Structure 1
């Protein structure tokens, strides 16, 4: 039982540091140094230096700042307005009407930004005023945005999948491909829920339907062409094998700059604002990854992962029981930390247990992203909730209540991929 007490001591140390306001990266370094100093004879300074350099000098990480920069460029362009004008004419007669624009708009923007918070902010700034003007129920406006924005973590290119791939040495390209069908599954669940809700609540939806001819619909659909070009350039180059995820990220930045310039949104100010925003976010993530890498090595020196894996194996938990326990653990942890921190904090300890239980690490990557998606709409630190609180002016509890049905849909999606793991593994195993 000594490994359990040692693990609890290190976890308590970590939460003490985080609770006192210490940055996540410094907390990770601190716990690693604490564990190695007290429980090993290894040279802490040498291990720290070599680990940080090794974690930073990783070619796959080059995709991270590029995809973040691409999202920053698009965030400052009029892409969201073009998507609204292109999608809205096709949704008028579907039960739920323009609420579906939130879902499909988030899904499309997720495919070119890779960020959940950026998706919520961009689509929310565009759709909330339009839907409010048409008197759509506020709870459904907020709920569809909160739930659908989480697709930014799953639909490739996903920043968190890059982080998971680097942390666990999994193929980022295969992770991207594995996220496609689960992403479409979530879109289908969200759309289905809105349709059912709309059929049951016809009286509180606006009755006015703008009559638009097919010719006019096709004309407005042309505004979707820029985003289609961008998605085709980024995702298509990966799936066809023409480019690696890192190369595709560079293609995405170039295309985003060209499209932003073509639409007149690119100027000196927006260029440098996007570049600085991407630099700050990338540095934060890279710093956290370096701290997590050191903690992983420190945990290896203490022998905790091996001991925990043996302990878990001795409990003879079924894979389903282990996944149920991990789901609760990740959701609780996600109430206090952002998604990237959850992934890098836990992989060093969790992966030996996962492998011991015979769970496919590729499948587990998609599983953990869906659980992290759930934490994005879980108070008190659900990032999507904060974004929507700022956009709507409502308190965090009201926003969380509106997002609750979509939290339930994420739980349902998780149950489906556990019951039918081929939803995750089919594409990467057959492409």
Structure 2
């Protein structure tokens, strides 16, 4: 049987499993078992046992639950609301005014949580009631929040970059460094869009009616200091080479506990809730990763990725044509799956094609995260849309329409890093 036919059969099996409501991890494991049973001579049980054991004690994977726990602790402390209060006084004179709190607040919280959903929930709880009470347009409130929360996937420490690094055996530290400039680029695009909208429609943004002296602004900005210390402690330890991502994640958990406890708004009950939430999320992601690893090994035994890469190479496709096709593919896939599932489902099949045309795996990781960010704000399975719907009760399609301009800005960001790959690769190369 030819490789394309085999690939289509396995894809059909996967779709049937997913459509039946089977857990993603079990669906991946089931497809791998089918591939080994019918399209190879490898022993199914032995490969499953060795793969599950070999991929369940990865040191790199240990950073994942730690960063998730750090975000859960911050989500339950007063630090997030202090961050909002510290940013607001400085943005009153900027076109778009307090809407930039959504953009900057999401960027800052993304740098300490690594989660898009946690970023949307935390910043949304504070900003939506405040901005609505001040008369800001609903579409821009929802759009800036939904769009900017996607920065949780890109700005390090990013959970999805850890997942990509583990799945593709790339350096997580280099991926974190590579995501810094694109993260600032996306944040700048979002802030620029808000400023342009505000300047084009002068009456759209209500006036900022609170006047504060410089001393009062500085006093309010003290709420940013704990979060700034956390960012410097975690990201600085990684960038300077003092600590590995896993060590830095442990440091981040320790610092977040200390800062949350000293804020006076974090109880032992909050800590236990954070532990349970982090354990649930971490187990889900780890289970998916192990299932994806089993599928990757099974695909190796069938020879499909190797032959597919050779076929792509013989076609002589340029990297740009391949990336254009993959972008459309990932956007469609993101309509039905969350970002982490997209990464683990596709890397074992896509990476041989990517390396065959000479695309840098580190660059491709950032590209993939940007494309996955788009799926966070596209229905029917846009996690940020679900979070905001839960906060506001607003129809998800209305939220999706508000987020659509930011979807287009993410497309622009993909175009920019494709045209200027140095935006991604320069910093890791300079610091290596």
1: distance between equivalents of 2:144 and 2:68? Answer: 24
1: distance between equivalents of 2:41 and 2:203? Answer: 71
1:149 partnered with 2:153: no
2: distance between equivalents of 1:296 and 1:186? Answer: 32
Q: Aligned ranges for residues 201-240 of structure 1 at < 5 Å?
A: 201-240=201-240
Deviations 1:50-105 (A, max 9, x none): 00111112110100000000000001011221011100001001000000000000
User: 1:210: how far off?
Assistant: 1.2
2: distance between equivalents of 1:208 and 1:273? Answer: 38
User: 1:207: how far off?
Assistant: 2.2
2: distance between equivalents of 1:168 and 1:216? Answer: 49
Give the aligned partner of residue 129 of structure 1.
129
Q: Which runs of 5+ in 2 are unaligned?
A: none
2: distance between equivalents of 1:104 and 1:148? Answer: 8
Tell me, yes or no, if the aligned pair for 1:111 and 1:157 is still in contact at 8 Å: yes
Tell me, yes or no, if the aligned pair for 1:74 and 1:256 is still in contact at 8 Å: yes
Tell me, yes or no, if the aligned pair for 1:83 and 1:105 is still in contact at 8 Å: yes
- What secondary structure sits across from 2:55 in the alignment? helix
Q: Which runs of 4+ in 1 moved over 4 A?
A: none
Tell me, yes or no, if the aligned pair for 1:164 and 1:365 is still in contact at 8 Å: yes
Q: Aligned ranges for residues 404-415 of structure 1 at < 5 Å?
A: 404-415=404-415
User: 1:209: how far off?
Assistant: 2.8
- What secondary structure sits across from 2:147 in the alignment? helix
Give the aligned partner of residue 102 of structure 2.
102
Tell me, yes or no, if the aligned pair for 1:334 and 1:381 is still in contact at 8 Å: yes
User: 1:4: how far off?
Assistant: 1.0
1: distance between equivalents of 2:321 and 2:209? Answer: 49
Give the aligned partner of residue 171 of structure 1.
171
Give the aligned partner of residue 275 of structure 1.
275
Tell me, yes or no, if the aligned pair for 2:97 and 2:208 is still in contact at 8 Å: no
The TM-score, its normalising length taken from structure 1, stands at: 0.99
1:73 partnered with 2:73: yes
User: 1:390: how far off?
Assistant: 1.0
1: distance between equivalents of 2:72 and 2:218? Answer: 29
Give the aligned partner of residue 17 of structure 1.
17
User: 1:12: how far off?
Assistant: 1.1
2: distance between equivalents of 1:34 and 1:115? Answer: 33
Deviations 1:138-169 (A, max 9, x none): 00000000110000000000000001001111
Tell me, yes or no, if the aligned pair for 1:370 and 1:414 is still in contact at 8 Å: yes
Tell me, yes or no, if the aligned pair for 1:330 and 1:372 is still in contact at 8 Å: yes
Q: Aligned ranges for residues 245-264 of structure 1 at < 5 Å?
A: 245-264=245-264
| RMSD of Structure 2 on Structure 1 (CA) | 0.8
Deviations 1:356-397 (A, max 9, x none): 010000100000000000111011001001001111111111
1: distance between equivalents of 2:330 and 2:208? Answer: 43
Deviations 1:16-50 (A, max 9, x none): 11011000000000000011101111110000000
Deviations 1:257-303 (A, max 9, x none): 00110011221210110000000000000000000000000000000
1: distance between equivalents of 2:108 and 2:204? Answer: 28
Deviations 1:102-125 (A, max 9, x none): 000000000000000000000000
User: 1:313: how far off?
Assistant: 1.4
2: distance between equivalents of 1:207 and 1:176? Answer: 39
User: 1:204: how far off?
Assistant: 2.4
Give the aligned partner of residue 50 of structure 1.
50
Deviations 1:292-336 (A, max 9, x none): 000000000000001111111122111000000000111111111
User: 1:211: how far off?
Assistant: 1.0
1: distance between equivalents of 2:392 and 2:138? Answer: 9
1: distance between equivalents of 2:157 and 2:208? Answer: 37
- Higher mean alpha-carbon deviation, 93-102 vs 261-270, is at 261-270
Give the aligned partner of residue 36 of structure 1.
36
1: distance between equivalents of 2:286 and 2:315? Answer: 36
- What secondary structure sits across from 1:170 in the alignment? coil
Give the aligned partner of residue 7 of structure 1.
7
1: distance between equivalents of 2:354 and 2:83? Answer: 40
- Higher mean alpha-carbon deviation, 205-214 vs 125-134, is at 205-214
User: 1:410: how far off?
Assistant: 0.1
Count of aligned pairs = 431
Give the aligned partner of residue 306 of structure 1.
306
Q: Aligned ranges for residues 222-371 of structure 1 at < 5 Å?
A: 222-371=222-371
Q: Which runs of 5+ in 1 are unaligned?
A: none
User: 1:202: how far off?
Assistant: 1.4
Tell me, yes or no, if the aligned pair for 1:93 and 1:209 is still in contact at 8 Å: no
User: 1:208: how far off?
Assistant: 3.8
